[in-house]
């Protein structure tokens, strides 16, 4: 009996001890996570493509007359304006020809002046029969021949003068289609271009309309050429039919250079679409025009962001707030509840599957078409440590990436 009593006493102490440990066990602390508010912004959908810049006007400067190159009046690569002197061809022969035709014209005019006086005298004698009709007709014909000879001499002089002028090779007309600048603005300032290197040195023979001397390209405004896929082309035609855009040839875009990854600081507007889709590549070529204040070089690689449709209001969250589970995206928002003790609790509310519909990625922010409302707190750091309905301790803090680029 004494042994049984001792056993019962030990069992009682063990039960009491277990009860005390169960009551004294502390609950785990809520996980601390960083959250930010889902923002609402007016955005315009876009697609991104690659392209190349190209000069709006490129002029191949050739000699208009044959001769030996005498002088060069520019530095390779400098900016030049219309009418500026570039080259001089040996002009001595052309100057002599000009002087010869000038003298020939004077000779023809002197002869015409003499025959004109003969004609006036003959005309005054004809009524009194002081001259026969045959003699009068001869005088009249000689005067007509002299008039024609003066015309021929004038033409020869103009030709010689033009060839003499062509010995001075100047910058031709730039931006020759109209007088409007980029985006239809009036172009009042002198039109400029950048000259390339000289391709012929002084002392070499150049041939008329054959020898290439140099090239000139205009820099402002400039073109961007890029190809869009057939799916996007069909989408744009639908938007144009629905009057959400004017036409494929009148859309806004932004672009960045090769060293501006993720940045699109320059803007422009499309002004041309090709008349067919390339059957080999399945793409449609578009061309855009932009004001080139930065003097971007022709042939530069660019990333083009073409804006589609009209602005619309949507919700965005940081891309880093999204997790992936078996190929499906999900995120957690903060759910506020009142606990059994009356204290406020925060829990992780899971959003994924059919309840979450994602849109385009915009500068590190993801468009949410369905599943998150504006102002909801979204977990963007500590995502992997929490589970559905887990208690959390949210700390409001902005993510490191900037807000998305707003529209075109």
Task: Please write the tens of the pLDDT for every residue from 295-329.
Answer: 899 999 999 999 887 788 899 999 989 999 888 99
Q: Where are the domains of the chain?
A: 27-43+313-396, 46-55+221-310, 59-88+171-217, 92-166
Whether 64 contacts 194, CB under 8 Å: no
Q: Tell me the C-alpha distance between 162 and 183, whole Å.
A: 37
Helix (H) or strand (E) holding 273: strand 266-273
pLDDT in tens, 220-232: 889 999 999 999 9
3-state secondary structure 13-47: HHHHHHHHHHHHCCCCCCEEEEEEECEEEEEEEEE
Q: Tell me the C-alpha distance between 248 and 126, whole Å.
A: 78
64-100 burial by CB neighbour count: b if 16+ within 10 A, else e? ebbbebeebebeeeeebebebebbbbbbeebeebbee
CATH number for region 59-88+171-217: 2.40.50.100
Q: Tell me the C-alpha distance between 404 and 305, whole Å.
A: 14
Please tell me the class of the 46-55+221-310 domain. mainly beta
CATH number for region 27-43+313-396: 2.40.420.20
Q: Tell me the C-alpha distance between 261 and 246, whole Å.
A: 30
Q: Tell me the C-alpha distance between 345 and 394, whole Å.
A: 10
pLDDT in tens, 335-351: 988 877 778 889 999 99
Tokens of 155: 């033409």
pTM for this entry: 0.67
How high is the pLDDT of residue 73?
95
Q: What is the mean pLDDT of the segment spanning 186-212?
A: 86
To the question of domain 92-166 being in CATH 1.10.287.470, the answer is yes
Helix (H) or strand (E) holding 303: strand 301-318
Please count the CA atoms within 13 angstroms of the CA of 280 that sit on its side-chain side: 1
Q: Which residues pair with 72 in a beta bridge?
A: 87
Q: Which of 181-190, 209-218, 307-316, 348-357 has the lowest mean pLDDT?
A: 181-190
Highest mean pLDDT among 105-114, 176-185, 186-195: 105-114
Q: Which of 104-108, 233-237, 247-251, 304-308 has the lowest mean pLDDT?
A: 247-251
How high is the pLDDT of residue 285?
95
Q: Tell me the C-alpha distance between 216 and 223, whole Å.
A: 16
Residue 2 — very low, low, confident or very high, per pLDDT cuts 50/70/90? Answer: very low
pLDDT in tens, 354-376: 889 998 887 788 999 999 999 99
Residues near 143 by beta carbon (within 8 Å), at least 6 away in sequence: 112, 115, 116, 118, 119
């Amino acid at each position: 009996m004494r042994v049984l009593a001792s056993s019962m006493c030990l069992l009682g102490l063990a039960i009491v001890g277990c009860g005390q440990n169960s009551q004294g066990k502390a609950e785990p602390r809520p996980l601390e996570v960083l959250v930010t508010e889902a923002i609402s912004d007016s955005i315009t959908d876009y697609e991104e493509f690659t392209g190349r810049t190209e000069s709006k006007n490129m002029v191949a400067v050739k000699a208009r007359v044959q001769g030996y190159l005498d002088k060069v009046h520019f530095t390779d690569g400098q900016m030049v304006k219309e009418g500026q002197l570039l080259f001089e061809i040996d002009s001595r022969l052309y100057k002599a020809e000009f002087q010869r035709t000038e003298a020939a014209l004077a000779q023809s005019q002197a002869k015409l002046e003499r025959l004109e006086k003969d004609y006036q005298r003959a005309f005054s004698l004809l009524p009194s029969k002081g001259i026969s009709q045959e003699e009068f007709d001869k005088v009249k014909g000689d005067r007509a021949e002299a008039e024609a000879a003066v015309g021929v001499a004038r033409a020869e002089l103009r030709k010689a003068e033009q060839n003499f002028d062509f010995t001075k090779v100047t910058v031709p007309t730039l931006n020759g289609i109209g007088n409007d600048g980029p985006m239809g603005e009036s172009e009042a300032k002198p039109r400029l271009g950048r000259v390339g290197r000289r391709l012929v040195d002084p002392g070499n023979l150049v041939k008329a309309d054959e020898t290439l001397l140099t090239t000139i390209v205009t820099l402002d405004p400039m073109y961007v050429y890029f190809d869009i896929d057939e799916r996007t082309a069909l989408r744009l035609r639908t938007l144009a039919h629905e009057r959400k855009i004017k036409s494929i040839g009148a859309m806004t875009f932004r672009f960045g250079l090769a060293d501006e990854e993720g940045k699109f600081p320059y803007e422009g507007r499309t002004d041309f679409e090709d008349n067919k889709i390339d059957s080999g590549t399945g793409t449609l070529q578009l061309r855009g025009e932009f004001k080139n204040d930065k003097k971007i070089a022709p042939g530069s690689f660019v990333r083009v962001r073409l804006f589609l449709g009209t602005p619309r209001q949507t919700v965005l969250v940081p891309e880093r707030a999204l997790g992936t589970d078996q190929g499906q995206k999900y995120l957690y928002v903060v759910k506020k509840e009142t606990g059994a003790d009356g204290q406020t609790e925060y829990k992780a509310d899971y959003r994924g599957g059919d309840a979450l519909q994602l849109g385009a990625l915009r500068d590190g922010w993801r468009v949410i078409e369905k599943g998150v409302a504006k102002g909801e707190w979204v977990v963007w750091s500590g995502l992997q440590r929490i589970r559905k309905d887990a208690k959390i301790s949210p700390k409001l803090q902005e993510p490191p990436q900037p807000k998305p680029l707003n529209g075109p």
